[in-house]
Amino acid sequence: MNRHLEAFLEMLAAERGAARNTLAAYRADLEDVTGYAARQAREAPEAMSAETLRRYLSGLTDAGLSPRTAARRLSALRQFHRFLAREGVRTDDPTEALDSPKKPGLLPRPLRESEVTALIEAAFRLPGKKGRLAGAVCELLYCSGLRASELVALPATALREDAPLVVVKGKGGKERLVPISARAREAGLAAREADPKSKAKGHPSRWLFPSHGSSGHLTRQTLNNLLHEAALGAGLDPSRVSPHVLRHSFASHLLGRGADLRSLQVLLGHADIATTQIYTQVLEERLRQLVEAHHPLAQAG
């Protein structure tokens, strides 16, 4: 591998703590584009021109790859060239002349705050311990922005009354601290207490939400079924409700109420701020409404 690429990946690991999967993705993306530059223009990775990179990105679209893939590779290229500039290898940045690929609406439509409230209330109304479990998972997903995989794998010791922050193991095994509201914490503990599997004599489950399945914890299918039933009870279209939609609603509502993208990146566990920037459409809408509501010229006439 080219020594500058190697140094860039080492920097990501050492300075940014990039996970193994993240490093592998950067390596694959950059090796693809540098291989193209070498074949088509005989350019070294540290000497790629804007025109070569533009042709490469256009070729991705012609090959049927998604705009999201092109945007991810452009993001990797930009970071690589910023690194080259910082190290004094290049004095220019060819990626400054490149336009970001237009991405279609990739985000699901978030639930309104009132719809989330109705969903949670309907979840708790489900009969017996199912209601306690459904209410707890809805509360936790919405209050924390957890991924489904992160929620079902929470250990039994995750929720403690004296600990407002929970350690969550996300993608690539990378850990982050996630704040949990008192209400969500109480709901989770109540659901666990009501489940006999959590306190089986001599063999208490190691999971917050145990099950009899091979994994020992709540499955994603069961989680989706609980949300489906809660959505029906709330009068919502079940196709609009999923763990990912609640995670998206969490992010959208926070951003709409004033949170910044960098804080949102930390809360969601995104390794790259570019991933969080898909939420800028929410921010742009909030800023547009702010101007229309408060700028004197916007109200003229």
The residues annotated as belonging to the active site are 147, 171, 244, 247, 270, 279
Q: DSSP readout, 206-246?
A: SBSSB-SSTTSB--HHHHHHHHHHHHHHTT--GGG--HHHH
Cα 293 from Cα 296, distance rounded (Å): 9
The answer to whether the CB of 101 falls within 8 A of the CB of 70 is yes
The answer to whether the CB of 123 falls within 8 A of the CB of 243 is no
Cα 27 from Cα 76, distance rounded (Å): 9
CA dihedral 76, 82, 87, 93 (to 10 degrees): 110
Instruction: Centre a 10 Å sphere on the Cβ of residue 288 and count the other Cβ atoms it contains.
Output: 11
The answer to whether the CB of 110 falls within 8 A of the CB of 279 is no
- E strand residue ranges, the chain: 165-169, 175-179
- Backbone φ, ψ for residue 71 (5° rounding): -65, -40
Token pair of 231 as six digits? 């959505």
Token pair of 293 as six digits? 């509501």
Cα 40 from Cα 144, distance rounded (Å): 47
Instruction: Centre a 10 Å sphere on the Cβ of residue 274 and count the other Cβ atoms it contains.
Output: 17
SS3 63: coil
